[in-house]
Structure 1
């Protein structure tokens, strides 16, 4: 496949062939078993063939189909291991690779968007793409001022293809449901469809990336490349090297895994408070692990302001095409509900969930049962440090997915308000990546620093702690021990 298939009939035919292929392989598997082959061996081979066809089609079609595949890849850690094994390698490939556009097509888009003399804007331009995404591909180049840059070129017809894919996927989504037991795929497809227009708008993406780049310019832990140039179908940003997170997942050291996990959690929760925006596409292809920051001496020969190297690995963040706009940061109700759940305040948690629309007015639930449902899921938020594993993720998925489980019965009665849908997806996706990393993370530290409502400060009155806005006083006025 050399170009983005734009005709709806072509794309529909490819997607429609998926269920036919599934049925054909099931028949093939039955024949193999009748012929005496081991059931386990046949099942494994059947799953591998299914994975190969499914993600080959998704990768070729790019657009909404590839984006759906990327979304599936994030939740890979929730799959039972006997199913996840054959799929894992194919899923990972989809995150960073897809058949490229022909060079002639790329040049045509650049000429249309940047002018006939577009080559004069670059000292160098690599025709071979370095990465592919759902609506465009990235080329490495050198801008005319000498900066190394990433040039994202949008596929011609990407908007039409995305809408067509998502319409088709909504029809076939029940066939993909078994890939993630217990998860309702329809809301995910609906959400992606609602976000298509924003992701196609490179002006909105450039604005979101510039805002993050300004805020994190001196950050010792997180690197966001700045925007160099933007037009309707071309986005030029600073280039950053580094090790893709997918490589850390597959072969990184434990130190790299832990550091990447800590910084991923930090970026997730600090970003909305610092920029008013939530990066809403946290799959491994959008992150890099970078070397420590170099020392930047000031005029007096000492470290300049914000310029000293931390000596630790940093997280590079890419692709701001999908963001959630949260002017006040993440909702304070999330932090309050988390804290109260950890503290066992079942009645208060239940009333807050009802007020926010997580429990419909027509439904009555036992507050203690709701607390029992939530506590295992939020376990990482209450621990000083927590090791995220695929086994833990699978246990949570199985607990909620099992129709015989009380958690399953209760979960079916809960509601997800539309305003929380993207936050919920981003949080789950990030947890999925942390489990793929197998990272040990001090999540509670990040929540206390960055999640409104989670950390309660106290004022001290007659040696008794009272909730308030001020931290404990120190020094002589607060007594010999200096407060808490």
Structure 2
């Protein structure tokens, strides 16, 4: 990459930092304004407006996460699972990030496979579906088959995601620094430390593969639990090939009950 290309990338990531920081300040200032108005117009005014404001801000965060992807999606998914302290409006809106993440173009995925496995997916695998079966914050999953006829799930990390993660974590550290001054009773530094540690571990698919094998070993005597096998010959830090296992999402209660 030439000097201009490097400069363009730096400008892009600085802009990303500023956009996410502005989103946070916009959400924070909206609550601050409501609390100021409540001092003038009374607590009843705040109670009438708070639900609508929660919904509006949750939609802002969800739409920004889908637009920018990266760590924002992870944060949204994390918030959507915290019914212990997050308002219902946030849980409802941000839970949609579990299923609504748009995939990246197949050309980028193909290039990543070439970089990691030494050839295009259509030659590495006997067959490879271009349309993903799932897309997430750090990568997406494609269905494929091996020369043996075995169906596999191929998890492929997005190109350039490492720099996006480092940029987003720098933004998150800045945000938690502000929150720690506002909310004294919560250790935001610890939350950030644990979150960033887990996130960097998720970027290493070899680490994930070894964890899958540990879990498989731990549950080998339990016939009720199926842990997919890792295809190590087609696995790197950025590409993870797994035995394909059919299943039903845990939140699809009606389907689970119908299946017995």
TM-score, scaled to structure 1: 0.44
**1:59-80: CA deviation from partner (whole Å, max 9, x where unpaired):** 43333332222222222x2036
Cα distance in 1, alignment partners of residues 54 and 17 from structure 2: 23
Q: Post-superposition shift, 1:28?
A: 8.5
Secondary structure (helix, strand or coil) at the match of 2:16 reads helix
Aligned to 2:4: none
**1:270-299: CA deviation from partner (whole Å, max 9, x where unpaired):** xxxxxxxxxxxxxxxxxxxx96xxxxxxxx
Aligned to 1:171: 174
Aligned to 2:109: 106
Instruction: Trace 1:18-29 onto structure 2 (pairs within 5 A).
Output: 18-22=23-27, 25-26=30-31
* Aligned counterpart for 1:71 among listed residues 68, 78, 92: 78
CA separation of 1:119/1:97 partners in 2, compared to 1, >3 Å: closer, same or farther?
Answer: same
Secondary structure (helix, strand or coil) at the match of 2:187 reads coil
Cα distance in 2, alignment partners of residues 42 and 181 from structure 1: 26
More helix by share: 2
Cα distance in 2, alignment partners of residues 209 and 128 from structure 1: 25
How much is the aligned-residue C-alpha RMSD, in angstroms? 3.4
Q: Post-superposition shift, 1:121?
A: 3.1
Check whether the contact 1:123–1:143 (CA below 8 A) recurs between aligned residues.
Answer: yes
How many residue pairs were aligned? 242
Structure showing greater Rg: 1
Instruction: Trace 1:200-239 onto structure 2 (pairs within 5 A).
Output: 200-217=203-220, 219-228=222-231, 229-239=234-244
TM-score, scaled to structure 2: 0.77
Instruction: Trace 1:349-360 onto structure 2 (pairs within 5 A).
Output: none
For the pair 1:93 / 2:93, whether they are aligned, the reply is no
Q: Which runs of 5+ in 1 are unaligned?
A: 257-289, 292-312, 314-484
Aligned to 2:248: 243
CA separation of 1:214/1:176 partners in 2, compared to 1, >3 Å: closer, same or farther?
Answer: same
Aligned to 1:147: 150
Secondary structure (helix, strand or coil) at the match of 1:244 reads coil
Check whether the contact 2:113–2:120 (CA below 8 A) recurs between aligned residues.
Answer: no
Cα distance in 1, alignment partners of residues 244 and 186 from structure 2: 37
Secondary structure (helix, strand or coil) at the match of 2:148 reads coil
Secondary structure (helix, strand or coil) at the match of 1:235 reads strand
* Aligned counterpart for 2:60 among listed residues 47, 53, 57: 53
Which has the larger displacement, 39-48 or 159-168? 39-48
Aligned to 2:16: 11
Secondary structure (helix, strand or coil) at the match of 2:131 reads coil
Q: Post-superposition shift, 1:200?
A: 1.9
Q: Which runs of 5+ in 2 are unaligned?
A: 1-8
* Aligned counterpart for 2:49 among listed residues 39, 42, 47: 42
Q: Post-superposition shift, 1:23?
A: 5.3
Q: Post-superposition shift, 1:52?
A: 0.8
Q: Post-superposition shift, 1:209?
A: 1.5
Cα distance in 2, alignment partners of residues 73 and 181 from structure 1: 23
